[in-house]
Chains A and B, each alone.
Chain A
Amino acid sequence: MRHGERRMVVLFLLPACLLYGVLFIYPVLSSLVFSLYEWDGFSQQRRYIGLGNFTRLLADPMFWTGLQHNLFLLAVPTVIVLVAALFFAAVLTGRLRGARFFRVVYFFPNIMSMVAITLLWFFIYNPNFGLLDGLLGAVTGSKVSTVWLDPNHIMGSLVAPIVWCSLGFYLVLFLAGMESIPTTYYDAARVDGANAWQQFRSITVPLMWDIITMAVVFLVIGGLRIFDLIFVMALGYPNEQSQVISTYLYEQAFNNANMGYGLAIAVVLFVLVFAATAIAMRLMRREQMEY
């Protein structure tokens, strides 16, 4: 290296490495270590209990309920978002009047904060003055006051805001992918007499497989990490009707002062994110296509 370069490399890397090391890597590593301890977080005493927190977690019904909710909230919205975003993207790549307008409108919810989105849907679902019951009332002609956030409806009701706030991002992603496919492929297919659906299935989807895989991974990770929507919708205290892993982590660590136990939940969440990513990539792996 040239004179002065070594010094520059060190100086330029120092702030980033320092911040990242102290505030990111160190806390992550201490989570891994202290998940093996029993610890209330405030006293100095920590007791090493090996995998105790994890065995306790496996026997904790609330953990399994939370995990079930996570799985539901990653599976259902993922399928809906994928199908809808692919469909809308396919429609909007065509020469359609107003395509830009639709894209701009659909994308907007993606930049709102999750707290604002939650509040908006909290209003929409309100049984006394909500938009949804109001709409249903107008359609059926009688007063409707379904409590959409009650135990019977809440999981289903959570799907809509998730789809609503993420569809636009995947639409833009898929549009980018579709517009990079050479038109000659479609011309050739049309000459062979392929209809729109056949073209979509045998040209668009295979050539966009990497982007679709990426979308599935993002959606699955999002479904596992979900926190704001559940936490705010439940006014800070989710119960077994809507608890998910990360809200349970928060409750155990910060409300119940079970730090070690909370950390074990965090570690499990991390492992699940990792495993889900690996599984999704594995299931969706196929021969690379070049074009």
Chain B
Amino acid sequence: MGKRRKERALGRLPGRVLLYALLVGYAGAVILPMGWLFYTSLKSNEEIFRSPWALPERPHWENFTYAWGRAHIGDYFANSLAITLVSVALILLVSAMAAYVLARFPFRGNRIIFYAFLAGLMVPMQLALVPLFFLVNSMRLLDTYTGVILVYIAYSLPFTIFVLAGFFRTLPHELAEAALIDGCTPSQAFWRVMLPIAKPGLVTAAIFNFLGIWNEYLFALVLISTESLRTLPLGLANLLMVTHYESNWGGLFAGLVIVMLPTLLAYALLQGQLTKGITAGALKG
């Protein structure tokens, strides 16, 4: 692609200043609320109401102990982590197996099955919500980890199979052939040779599924009602509704900070992967 277009960039000085003002302005719109959120989470309730700007006189760490303990954000955190990790692992396993055979074996019905999965990308999940509630209930899985996890797997399949099948198609045929010649069965060729090379595709799929499930709200709202099983989004939304009556706002601010910190951390580590994933998707699309 050669060198970037340099001189095209930004014209003369007044234009440059205006551009930077806009860029910095929007960056402020992202950063300012975060910074404000962080220091407000250390203010007492009374300080919060006295002035939206003033810094706390002393840091009120008790907001955090309240949010983590009394408001159970710590428990919700553990629930979310368990549900998300198990779901993502199973999604990758189930999708990789299906995507592999769909991408590489031209059996009868292959295209129909592939398109049936693909069609799922078009369906808003609200369409399945109500029957799903009764179905999960009749399986006696309402209000269980298993129920939510199975539902998360099912609704991640279209996207994950789509991504992974695309990936498996690009891998050279000869690799699997060579494994077969060396005496592997077709499924050994998959587990020992093809799956390990598919790692970049699996990582991308894992990151996007992790984010999606970690942040998911509607299914969790319908499928989980016991307080001790709540995920983070459920727990946070509930804390807002409770705070409206109990008004420990400092605690709510702290709860939101607790929710955001790991997201920020993960972002610092993974943002390159994320943008690469979107970029790859955009150019293929």
Contacts and interface: CB of A to CB of B under 8 A. Distances in A.
Contact of B113 (A17, A116, A164, A199): A17
Contacts of A34: 131
B278 A169 contact: yes
Interface residues of B, number: 99
A224 B124 contact: yes
Given A113-B233, A120-B33, A20 B107 contact: no
Given A8-B190, A11-B187, 4 more contacts: A91-B23, A172-B278, A176-B278, A211-B282
Interface string B183-210: 0011100100000000000000000000
Given A88-B23, A183-B1, A228 B8 contact: no
A22 B153 CA distance: 12
8 contacts: A12-B97, A22-B135, A91-B23, A96-B10, A106-B30, A131-B36, A177-B282, A186-B8
A182 B123 contact: no
Contacts of A122: 240
A196 B11 contact: yes
A120 to B, nearest CB: 6
B128 A31 contact: yes
Given A186-B8, A199-B8, A2 B98 contact: no
Given A5-B186, A23-B151, A186-B5, A115 B128 contact: no
Interface of A: 1-2, 4-6, 8-9, 11-13, 15-17, 19-20, 22-28, 30-31, 34, 41, 84, 87-88, 91, 93-96, 98, 101-109, 111-116, 118-120, 122-124, 128-131, 133-134, 137-138, 164, 167, 169, 172-173, 175-177, 179-180, 182-184, 186-187, 190, 196, 199, 210-211, 214, 221, 224-225, 227-228, 232, 235-236, 246, 249-250, 253-254, 259, 262-263, 266-267, 269-270, 273-274, 277
Interface string B65-78: 00000000000000
A274 B1 contact: no
B5 A106 contact: no
A19 B155 CA distance: 9
